[in-house]
Amino acid sequence: MAKELESLKQYLVDARARKYALGGFCFWNYAYGMAIAEVAQKLNLPMLYIIGDAEVQFFGGLKNAVQAAQTVAEHVDVPVILHADHFREYDDIRRAIDAGFRSVMIDASAYPLEENIQRTAQVVELAHSAGVSVEGELGRIAGCEQKLSLSEEEAMQTDPDEAAYFVQATGVDILALSIGTVHGEYRFPPRINIPRLERIAEKVSIPLVMHGGSGTPEDKVAEAVEHGITKLNLATDLVKTAGQATARVQQQPGFGYSVANLYAPAYVDLARYAEHKMRLLAKNIL
Ligand code: 13P
């Protein structure tokens, strides 16, 4: 009998109360996922995986991704959470819940406020009836290439009053913000808007999420955790860490191809990276 995956809300509520955060680690194959889960186990922290559409395809579909995460859960004695990341359509979220996801994100942030509310509230109703946690998003998170002027940047960021209204109107459990991070590698110096986060945190008491964790300055991440950020999404850094390790090892004299020779260094480097991030995010409780 497979061990059940857990829903996310309770863990992030605790994180907000005790001022720490969990890394949301991108899950795209079982072995690399296991490397990170072993670190969560060592530090006695919940293992939180995030998975988007593209990674779901690598597993061969939603059900396989759920089964892979359940298999991890059987091998560790910390809670394992698999969170559907940036799902945009109600029907896709319904399919994810049917496949066994206990935590989902509805990203309707590209729509005007009222439509974002309507789409998010519809998912909240469905998910809550199945005991599934919901993350919504308000404000637009820029792409890595987008070099914006200060005023353009501010215009895309989450408005504190709108955030309070959005949370009340949707009943969402967790809120993703835009405060200056980008998805992917930064192509310009990051400017993380901590004063804006502070204003949002005064008005919104649910757990807050920072997307675009890769390359975000660690002093700003630590400050953000003090002000209500409870989950930091990490994807690009993981892919880069694994990719660079497999490239590096092939340059070594005498390297011979085997699964262990090619992939073990990536496994080790991912574990080192994950431990560093988990210790930074959860330093207030470790
Ligand atoms: P990075 O790829 O910048 O780490 O962002 C990941 C993310 O926010 C996924 O939702």
pLDDT by residue for the chain (286 residues), tens only, comes to 457 899 999 999 999 999 999 999 999 999 999 999 999 999 999 999 999 999 999 999 999 999 999 999 999 999 999 999 999 999 999 999 999 999 999 999 999 999 999 999 999 999 999 999 999 999 998 777 677 777 777 779 999 999 999 999 999 999 999 999 999 999 888 999 999 999 999 999 999 999 999 999 999 999 999 999 999 999 999 999 999 999 999 999 999 999 999 999 999 999 999 999 999 999 999 9
**Closest Cα to atom 3, ligand 1: which residue?**
212
At the top level of CATH, the class of 9-281 is: alpha beta
38: CA distance to ligand 1 center in Å?
22
Q: 214, 216, 231, 281: which to mutate for ligand 1, most atoms within 8 A of CB?
A: 214
State how far the alpha carbon of 116 is from the alpha carbons of 17, 53, 220, 233, 253, in Å. 27, 20, 28, 21, 55
Rounded Cα distance between 16 and 61, Å, is 32
Residue-level pLDDT at 2:
52
190: CA distance to ligand 1 center in Å?
14
**Closest Cα to atom 1, ligand 1: which residue?**
212
Structure tokens at 90: 């109600």
Rounded to two decimals, what is the model's pTM?
0.97
Cβ(234) – ligand 1 distance below 6 Å: yes
Cβ(83) – ligand 1 distance below 6 Å: no
Cβ(100) – ligand 1 distance below 6 Å: no
254: CA distance to ligand 1 center in Å?
36
211: CA distance to ligand 1 center in Å?
5
233: CA distance to ligand 1 center in Å?
5
Residue-level pLDDT at 198:
98
85, 174 contact by CB (below 8 A): no
Cβ(181) – ligand 1 distance below 6 Å: no
Catalytic residues: 85
Cβ(9) – ligand 1 distance below 6 Å: no
Torsion, CA 214, CA 163, CA 203, CA 83, rounded to 10: -50
**Closest Cα to atom 9, ligand 1: which residue?**
233
State how far the alpha carbon of 60 is from the alpha carbons of 28, 50, 54, 100, 133, in Å. 11, 16, 10, 15, 24
181: CA distance to ligand 1 center in Å?
9
Residue-level pLDDT at 187:
86
Rounded Cα distance between 270 and 29, Å, is 13
**Closest Cα to atom 5, ligand 1: which residue?**
212
Q: 55, 106, 234: which to mutate for ligand 1, most atoms within 8 A of CB?
A: 234
- From the CA of 234, give the closest atom in ligand 1: 4
Structure tokens at 277: 């991030």
Cβ neighbours around 227 below 10 Å, total = 18
- From the CA of 211, give the closest atom in ligand 1: 8
Q: Is 80 helix (H, G, I), strand (E, B) or coil?
A: strand
